[in-house]
């Protein structure tokens, strides 16, 4: 977009939308040049949420980077974590267990649904359909409950690890997931009834915010925005990662590339995500849980002293450890099926850390500054399908425990570069649904 | 000259070398616990096991002489299995001490387990309990549970320090390292056993619980406490002042130099770093108050800024100055100060009276650069003789420039007939007109000349405390203020000028000296 | 699974580049091609327009500062390209020296190159010749330095910025205005 440096006509008005604006998701400034209500020129200014993610990650170990990746696309955090951990595992050439792959897919799809729910909910609210927003947010809460069960936090889970996961799924998770899926399904049906053939909604969205397929590709669009123009590129099908090649799902593709198509694509994607989740739950290999001989639990210090006692207190190898609440999930039965086999990458279960010297040394060396996870020298690019498109991590490693260069290719950056094309020629009021349908997330855009 | 192949790479070595030494030459790292190049060979740890073709069993690389035509494999599956087995045995009774053990971060059990072990532990029994935190001497603590009985310390006390305090007691699983009756580990090299212990069984009392080694940064340097000039490494950190009570230098370790100190250093040098962060470090210049003191009271010294202090010092030294240097003055500083006061002035180099040298490293001369001072034409004065010399010099001079921290009360009285300018890192009280804070040896770049004439380089690790400046920079500023020919404040240029003028140093440059030192030309 | 173009296609590219091809790498199923800076624009054009290669999507354009690894030249411009039709990826790199940190801009080929190159300029200080408006994108205009360079300290403080004067806005019209043709607006006659 090239501003022509000339005096604007006297009847053009300049208006700033943002950076602080009720309808701007995240923070962004759109400078508009208006002729009456029509936008004749626009310029998008970003960078208000730039937090120096890439520079920070050059000074953190690989495990310490994971909470930072949560905060990129903060409405679908698990997808970011999966992308980053897959990149590091690619550097290592490491394969995670089958169960771990299924759980990662499951969590990614749950995050994708939360992303789309938020997008459509916020879009609807800005057009005045507040009830739709509340229904969708209520559905999102059920998903947040699931994520909280698994990782302890609703929005910033910090659940995926290099080589596996923080811990296995809790007991009864499948049952609760099915209930949540039912809830989401009924809310989606309700939303369809409220919005999809709603006269006002259709009028405000269709035919506006149009972008052609060539322009979309030229701008680097990926994800629902690209698929709404008719190009069916989805990373999960084009370059399947984890277990997506074993799952059966469709990729919805639109036709005209307007706001309404993007809305429909997102609604249908959520249905497909629900389908994927059901298949995951059905196909996930069940791991055997460790059988305890005695029932008695021991604190870690008892285990250590028990090792030294003559005669020993009880068979130490099978002892159940009673951990403090913030360490729950790190026992052997919680991690043995979901972490890879490589001792130089994954943390040992707490029975080993407190129970034998080898586990203690392994844990110690992985945590110590300057040691820890050290991938071989090299560079990789790993793409996953984020809520907004192809989320890529370009990772350059120099063999030490800190990444040399971590570049996050956020899909929103490219979507926003095309925003000017989409809104020029429309009225000011049309910026709101157009911008909402792109689902710009500030964390991913500015990093 | 046998030629052998290790991991597919060929190397020819002189005869008499063992396989492990040949592998080190090639850059192939074979793990070792009991083998140490400076001690006799034992072969009791078995972790340096390698596979040599045509030999019926796996052999230890440290005991097998390298022979012509040998084909050695250090990472084949049988070797891997053997190493895992050795590690498993060694770790059977090893206590879970990593969180409280000083060696964590530098422990060969940790390093080799992650690199070569990484097996799942099968140990479900109870571990053996032995004595922990055994006080075996003024500097070292012993922890028998952590000991893997490599006997490096026993061989060290027998062969290197020749004091024979440590030995193996009991037998079987109860074997432990201990002191012979009536002995304590108090020889001059007691700290070296901590360096060579591959695990945390022998730990340094001085370093105990101060900081974690991975927070430390290392800088090569030279020990400034005697004229041997042992090559050392200074371990320091400034980012975490809450560790170690705010000190910056945490320990000194020896650096390998086959020609000077090999792998060892004495305790005088090892524990002689506490003055770097002591409370007596001078942080800003002092000037004597112009007012007349009360009856019987000392003249108060008032803190001031560098501009005024330098101006006053230049003023005082304009009259014919005499020079007394002591302490850790580098070659560059000796030359710079000599130039500052002029060739005709008295230049004295003071050292405490010498002690008898020992059989290994300690030379008895408590100054790192006596040879350098000699080569630059200083008059060496020792102990009591110093007072006479200073009095004589003071009689003929108009001002006294004292560089270094050995400026004791008696010396002050000897020189007090003329105004005194002191350049020192440590200051308690005294009769001087101007006191300028200087940096200690870890805070500046420079070289020392050891007693054999070997010029060795030490590197700057820390920034000077407060507003202190390296002696060379002070000489440079004074030269400017006094209108003398300019002296460079940068060590490289100063050394180049020094090498051009003093014949014993001709042809040397700071880069060429590097970290290995320039052998003596005498 | 590998996303690299087939070896025949890579050989075709190598043949076309001739001496401008500096290096070819393959690591973990990914293809990397390093070209000389003079051939940057031409290589990208060939990769985009050749029907067998068909790299129509500029996925990412960024810079890696090799100063801490002792690399020379200092910068490495890295572009990731993807072909939606052929489903293959390629990583294209070119070395950029520090004293002459300029490369031709890719804006004639892809529209998102505009913003990506502005970010590369913002973060690293690499210039793009032919870029219509090379100014900072993520940081404010008064920012001093290029923060993702390795010698930029992590915790450097920037000077406070004085309050800006309000400037007269410049026109942002980029093409002839197309007024909405929606018949609904015809009822609001002016």
Residue of A nearest to B215 (CA): A369
Q: How far apart are CA A66 and CA B267, in angstroms?
A: 46
Domain boundary among A350, A367, A384: A367
- Whole-number pLDDT of residue B432: 84
Distances (CA, A) of B202 to B178, B207, C131: 11, 12, 65
Structure confidence by residue, pLDDT tens digits, A78-107: 999 999 999 999 998 888 888 888 999 999
Q: How far apart are CA A319 and CA A299, in angstroms?
A: 10
Q: How far apart are CA A36 and CA A13, in angstroms?
A: 8
What is the residue-averaged pLDDT of chain A?
86
Structure confidence by residue, pLDDT tens digits, B332-354: 999 999 988 888 888 889 888 88
- Whole-number pLDDT of residue A315: 55
**Closest among A244, A144, A154 to A184, alpha carbons compared:** A144
Cis peptide before A311 (omega within 30 of 0): yes
Give the mean pLDDT of A131-151: 92
Structure confidence by residue, pLDDT tens digits, B304-328: 999 999 999 998 888 888 888 988 8
Residue B79 has pLDDT above 70, yes or no: yes
Same domain flag for A357 and A232: no
- Whole-number pLDDT of residue A35: 81
Looking up tokens 């001792």 gives A343
Residue B294 has pLDDT above 90, yes or no: no
Distances (CA, A) of A102 to A96, A392, B80, B236, B493: 10, 21, 34, 48, 66
Confidence of residue B88 (pLDDT cuts 50, 70, 90): very high
DSSP string over B12-36: E--TT-BHHHHHHHHT-----SS--
Same domain flag for A381 and A362: no
Listed as ranges, residues in chain C with pLDDT below 50 are 1, 185-190
Q: Hey, is the C-beta of C178 within 8 angstroms of any chain A C-beta?
A: yes
- Whole-number pLDDT of residue B264: 94
Residue A24 has pLDDT above 80, yes or no: no
Same domain flag for A245 and A102: yes
Residues of chain B with pLDDT > 90: what percent?
57
Same domain flag for A383 and A363: no
Structure confidence by residue, pLDDT tens digits, A391-415: 999 999 998 889 999 999 999 999 9
CATH number of the domain residue A240 falls in: 1.10.645.10
What is the residue-averaged pLDDT of chain B?
89
Domain boundary among A367, A395, A413: A367
Q: How many domains does chain A have?
A: 2
Cβ within 8 Å, pair C172-A215:
no
* ipTM summary value: 0.88
Residue B47 has pLDDT above 60, yes or no: yes
Same domain flag for A235 and A206: yes
- Whole-number pLDDT of residue A287: 56
- Whole-number pLDDT of residue C190: 42
Q: How far apart are CA B144 and CA B141, in angstroms?
A: 10
Report C:25-54 residues touching A (Cβ under 8 A).
Answer: 27-28, 30, 32
Q: How far apart are CA C50 and CA C176, in angstroms?
A: 32
Give the mean pLDDT of B144-153: 94
Same domain flag for A87 and A126: yes
Residue A191 burial by Cβ neighbours in a 10 Å radius (0-12, 13-18, 19+): buried
Same domain flag for A254 and A360: no
Residue of A nearest to C67 (CA): A404
Instruction: List chain A residues with CB under 8 Å of B85.
Output: none
How close does chain A come to B127, measured CA to CA in Å?
5
Return the higher-pLDDT residue of B510 and B235: B235
Same domain flag for A135 and A279: yes
Residue A176 burial by Cβ neighbours in a 10 Å radius (0-12, 13-18, 19+): middle
Residues of chain A with pLDDT > 90: what percent?
43
- Whole-number pLDDT of residue C133: 87
Residue A289 has pLDDT above 50, yes or no: no
Q: How far apart are CA A84 and CA A67, in angstroms?
A: 11
CB of A298 closer than 8 Å to CB of A319: yes
Q: How far apart are CA B143 and CA B410, in angstroms?
A: 47
Q: Hey, is the C-beta of C114 within 8 angstroms of any chain A C-beta?
A: yes
Confidence of residue A111 (pLDDT cuts 50, 70, 90): very high
Q: Hey, is the C-beta of A357 within 8 angstroms of any chain B C-beta?
A: yes
- Whole-number pLDDT of residue C20: 86
Same domain flag for A73 and A173: yes
**Residue span of the structural domain in which A179 resides:** 53-286+374-446
The dihedrals phi and psi of B229, each to the nearest 5 degrees, come to 70, 50
Whether residue A20 lies inside any domain: the answer is no
Residue A222 has pLDDT above 80, yes or no: yes
Q: How far apart are CA B413 and CA B387, in angstroms?
A: 9
Domain boundary among A335, A367, A399: A367
Q: pTM of this prediction?
A: 0.83
Same domain flag for A183 and A223: yes
Whether residue A107 lies inside any domain: the answer is yes
- Whole-number pLDDT of residue A9: 67
Which of A196-210, A313-327, B415-429 is most confident?
A: A196-210
Q: Given this structure, which CATH class describes domain C7-153? A: alpha beta
Q: How far apart are CA B140 and CA B133, in angstroms?
A: 10
Whether residue A162 lies inside any domain: the answer is yes
Cβ within 8 Å, pair A315-B124:
yes
Structure confidence by residue, pLDDT tens digits, A302-351: 666 666 665 555 555 556 677 777 777 777 777 777 788 888 888 888 88
How close does chain B come to A365, measured CA to CA in Å?
7
Same domain flag for A269 and A326: no
Residue B477 has pLDDT above 50, yes or no: yes
Neighbours of A53 (CB within 10 A): 20
Residue B293 has pLDDT above 80, yes or no: no
β partners of residue B231:
B222
β partners of residue B382:
B351
Taking the CA atoms of B225, B231, B235 and B238 in sequence, report the sign of the dihedral they define. Answer: positive
Same domain flag for A197 and A304: no
CB of A352 closer than 8 Å to CB of B117: no
Residue B224 has pLDDT above 80, yes or no: yes
Structure confidence by residue, pLDDT tens digits, B15-39: 899 999 999 999 999 999 999 999 9
Q: Hey, is the C-beta of C65 within 8 angstroms of any chain A C-beta?
A: yes
Q: Which two tokens stand for residue C106?
A: 């890719």
How close does chain A come to B114, measured CA to CA in Å?
6
Parse chain C into domains and list their residue ranges. Answer: 7-153
Nearest to C64 among A90, A240, A396 (CB): A396
Structure confidence by residue, pLDDT tens digits, B481-500: 888 888 888 888 999 998 88
Residue B258 burial by Cβ neighbours in a 10 Å radius (0-12, 13-18, 19+): exposed
Confidence of residue B201 (pLDDT cuts 50, 70, 90): very high
């Amino acid at each position: 977009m090239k501003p022509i440096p000339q005096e604007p006509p006297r009847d053009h008005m300049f208006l700033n939308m943002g950076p602080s604006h009720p309808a701007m998701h995240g923070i962004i400034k759109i400078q508009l040049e208006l002729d009456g209500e029509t936008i004749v020129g626009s310029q998008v200014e970003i960078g208000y949420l730039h937090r120096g993610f890439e520079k920070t990650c050059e000074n953190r170990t690989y495990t310490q980077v994971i909470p930072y990746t949560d905060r990129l696309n903060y409405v679908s955090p698990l997808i970011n974590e999966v992308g980053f951990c897959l990149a590091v595992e690619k550097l290592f050439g490491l394969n995670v267990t089958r169960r771990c792959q299924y759980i990662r897919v499951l969590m990614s799809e749950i995050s994708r649904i939360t992303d789309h729910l938020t997008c459509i909910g916020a879009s609807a609210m800005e057009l005045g359909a507040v009830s739709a927003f509340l229904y969708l947010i209520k559905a999102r809460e059920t998903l947040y409950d699931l994520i909280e069960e698994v990782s302890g936090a609703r929005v910033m889970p910090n659940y995926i690890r290099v080589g596996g996961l923080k811990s296995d799924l809790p007991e009864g998770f499948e049952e609760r997931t099915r209930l949540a899926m039912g809830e989401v399904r009924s809310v989606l049906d309700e939303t369809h009834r409220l919005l999809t053939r709603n006269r006002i909604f259709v009028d405000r969205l269709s035919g506006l915010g149009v972008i052609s397929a060539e322009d979309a590709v030229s701008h680097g669009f990926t994800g629902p925005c690209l698929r709404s123009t008719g190009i069916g590129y989805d990373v999960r099908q084009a370059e399947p990662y984890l277990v997506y090649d074993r799952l059966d799902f469709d990729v919805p593709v639109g036709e005209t590339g307007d706001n309404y198509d993007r809305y429909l694509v997102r609604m249908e994607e959520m249905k497909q995500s629900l389908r994927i989740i059901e298949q995951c739950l059905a196909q996930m290999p069940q791991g055997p849980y460790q059988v305890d001989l005695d029932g008695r639990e021991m604190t870690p210090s008892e285990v250590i002293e028990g090792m030294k006692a003559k005669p020993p207190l009880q068979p130490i190898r099978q002892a159940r450890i009673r951990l403090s609440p913030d360490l729950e999930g790190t026992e052997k039965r919680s991690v043995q099926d979901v972490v890879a086999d490589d001792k130089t990458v994954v943390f040992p279960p707490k029975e080993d850390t407190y129970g034998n010297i080898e586990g203690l040394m392994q844990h110690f060396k992985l945590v110590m500054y300057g040691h820890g996870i050290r991938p071989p020298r090299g560079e990789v690019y790993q793409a996953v399908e984020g809520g907004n498109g192809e989320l890529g991590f370009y990772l350059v490693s120099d063999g030490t425990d800190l990444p040399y260069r971590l570049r996050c290719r956020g899909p929103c950056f490219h979507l926003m570069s095309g925003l000017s094309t989409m809104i020029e020629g429309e009225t000011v009021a049309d910026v709101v649904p157009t911008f909402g349908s792109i689902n710009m997330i500030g964390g991913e855009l500015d990093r | 000259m046998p030629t052998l192949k290790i991991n597919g790479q060929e190397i020819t070595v002189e005869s008499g070398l063992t396989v492990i030494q040949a592998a080190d030459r090639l850059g192939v790292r074979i793990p070792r616990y009991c083998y140490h190049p400076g001690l006799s060979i034992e072969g009791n740890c078995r972790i340096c096991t390698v596979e040599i073709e045509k030999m019926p069993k796996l052999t230890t690389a440290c005991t097998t002489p390298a022979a012509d035509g040998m084909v050695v494999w250090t990472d084949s599956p049988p070797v891997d299995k053997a190493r895992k087995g050795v590690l498993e045995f060694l770790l059977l009774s090893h206590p879970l001490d990593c969180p409280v053990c000083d060696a964590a971060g530098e422990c060969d059990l940790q390093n080799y387990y992650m690199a070569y072990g990484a097996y799942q532990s099968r140990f479900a029994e109870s571990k053996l309990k032995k004595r922990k935190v055994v006080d075996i001497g003024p500097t070292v603590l012993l922890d028998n549970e952590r000991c893997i009985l490599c006997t490096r310390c026993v061989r060290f006390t027998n062969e290197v320090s020749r004091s024979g305090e440590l030995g193996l007691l009991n037998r079987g699983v109860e074997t432990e390292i201990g002191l012979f009756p009536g002995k304590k580990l108090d020889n001059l090299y007691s700290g070296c056993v901590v360096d060579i212990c591959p695990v945390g069984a022998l730990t340094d009392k001085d370093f105990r619980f101060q900081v974690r080694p991975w927070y430390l940064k290392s800088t090569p340097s030279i020990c400034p406490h005697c004229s041997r000039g042992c090559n050392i490494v200074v371990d320091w950190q400034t980012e975490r002042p809450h560790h170690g009570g705010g000190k910056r230098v945490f320990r000194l370790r020896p650096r390998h130099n086959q020609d000077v100190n090999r792998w060892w250093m004495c305790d005088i040098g090892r524990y002689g770093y506490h003055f770097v962060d002591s409370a007596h470090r001078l942080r800003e210049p002092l000037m004597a108050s112009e007012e007349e003191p009360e009856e019987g009271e000392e003249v108060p010294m008032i803190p001031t800024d560098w501009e005024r202090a330098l101006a006053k010092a230049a003023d005082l030294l304009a009259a014919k100055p005499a020079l007394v240097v002591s302490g850790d003055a580098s070659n560059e500083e000796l030359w710079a100060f000599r130039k500052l006061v002029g060739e005709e002035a008295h230049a004295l180099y003071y050292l405490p009276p010498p002690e008898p040298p020992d059989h290994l490293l300690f030379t008895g001369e408590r100054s790192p650069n006596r040879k350098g001072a000699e080569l630059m034409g200083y008059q060496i004065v020792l102990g009591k003789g110093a007072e006479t010399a200073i009095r004589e010099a003071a009689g003929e001079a108009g001002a006294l420039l004292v560089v270094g921290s050995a400026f004791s009360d008696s010396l002050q009285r000897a020189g007090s007939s003329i105004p005194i300018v002191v350049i020192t890192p440590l200051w308690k009280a005294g009769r001087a007109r101007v006191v300028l804070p200087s940096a200690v040896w870890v805070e500046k770049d420079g070289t020392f000349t050891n007693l054999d004439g070997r010029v060795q380089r030490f590197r700057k690790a820390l920034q000077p405390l407060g507003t202190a400046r390296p002696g060379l920079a002070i000489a440079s500023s004074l030269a400017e203020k006094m209108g003398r020919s300019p002296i460079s404040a940068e060590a490289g240029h100063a050394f180049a000028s020094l090498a051009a003028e003093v014949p014993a140093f001709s042809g040397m440059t700071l880069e060429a000296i590097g970290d290995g030192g320039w052998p003596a030309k005498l | 699974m590998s996303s690299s173009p087939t070896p025949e296609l890579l050989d075709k590219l190598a043949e076309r580049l001739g001496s401008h091809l500096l290096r070819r790498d393959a690591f973990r199923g990914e293809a990397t091609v390093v070209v000389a800076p003079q051939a940057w624009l031409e290589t990208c054009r060939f990769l985009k327009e050749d029907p067998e290669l068909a790299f129509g999507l500029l996925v990412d354009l960024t810079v890696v500062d090799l100063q801490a690894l002792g690399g020379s030249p200092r910068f490495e411009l890295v572009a990731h390209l993807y072909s939606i039709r052929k489903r293959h990826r390629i990583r294209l790199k070119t070395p950029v020296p520090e004293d002459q940190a300029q490369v031709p801009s890719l804006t004639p080929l892809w529209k998102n190159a505009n913003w990506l190159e502005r970010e590369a300029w913002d973060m690293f200080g690499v210039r793009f010749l032919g870029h219509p408006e090379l100014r900072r994108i993520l940081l404010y205009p008064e920012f001093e330095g290029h923060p993702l360079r390795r010698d930029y300290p992590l915790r450097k403080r920037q000077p406070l910025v004085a309050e800006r004067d309000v400037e007269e806005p410049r026109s942002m019209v980029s093409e002839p205005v197309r007024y909405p043709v929606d018949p609904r607006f015809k009822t609001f006659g002016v």
